[in-house]
Amino acid sequence: MRFLFKLAFCAALALSATAASAHDYEKGSIFLDHPWSRATPHGATVGAGYVVIQNKGPSPDRLIGASAEVAGRVEIHEMAMELGIMKMRPLPRGLEIKARATATLKPGGYHIMLMDLKRALKEGEHFKGTLVFEKAGTIEVEFTVEGMGTQPNKRGH
């Protein structure tokens, strides 16, 4: 009996966790769906932030900066092939989001690079940050930390 009760309780917790992770933000023409990050191994000094950015407006906007309370410094990165090796590099002008288009920041692609991490990121926790857009301005968000191996498709993106 006790075991069954525990199972039901866990199922309820899992459900509420799923609901809580579907968080989004809107400002001007920019809609942000579920900012998230991945847990980092002990001692790691870098991490990454991901989010789906939707531009609902008739003109392009640009993600030009970001911040996170857990990182000393943040850059916007892309992944690109260099001499046959996938490497990440900063986007000095930021990331353009075309009119009525969606940009998905995800593992293996565009990401918000969290540098000089102040501490390890643990699965299930949250941290505050901002995304700064050329036109929409600064949007305050909260990143959810997911497990180390989490892939975007497993989360429904």
Among residues 30, 53, 112, 113, the one that binds Cu ion under rule CB under 5 A? 113
Smallest distance from Cu ion to CB 48, Å: 6
Residues β-bridged to residue 63: 95, 133
Site string for Cu ion, 86-105 (x = CB under 5 A): --x-----------------
Query: Which residue lies nearer to Cu ion by CB, 39 or 113?
Result: 113
Closest CA to 67 of 6, 139, 147, 156: 139
Query: Please, which of residues 11-70 interact with Cu ion by CB under 5 A?
Result: none
Which one, 88 or 91, has the nearer CB to Cu ion?
A: 88
Q: How far is the CB of 113 from Cu ion (least distance, A)?
A: 4
Quickly tell me which residue has 């926790």 as its tokens. Answer: 125
Q: Integer distance in angstroms from the first to the last C-alpha of the chain?
A: 38
Distance of CA 102 to the CA centre of its chain: 14
Q: Can you say whether the dihedral through the CA atoms of 134, 135, 140, 143 is positive or negative?
A: negative
For residue 115, state whether it binds Cu ion (rule: CB under 5 A).
no
Running DSSP on this structure, what letter comes out for residue 18? H
89 vs 154, which CB is nearer to Cu ion? 89
When asked if residue 71 is in the footprint of Cu ion (CB under 5 A), the reply is: no
Q: Is 106 in the site for Cu ion (CB under 5 A)?
A: no
Pick from 18, 35, 47, 19: nearest CA to 139: 35
Q: 52, 77, 127, 133: which one contacts Cu ion (CB under 5 A)?
A: 77
Cα diameter, the chain: 61
Contacting positions for Cu ion (CB under 5 A): 77, 88, 113
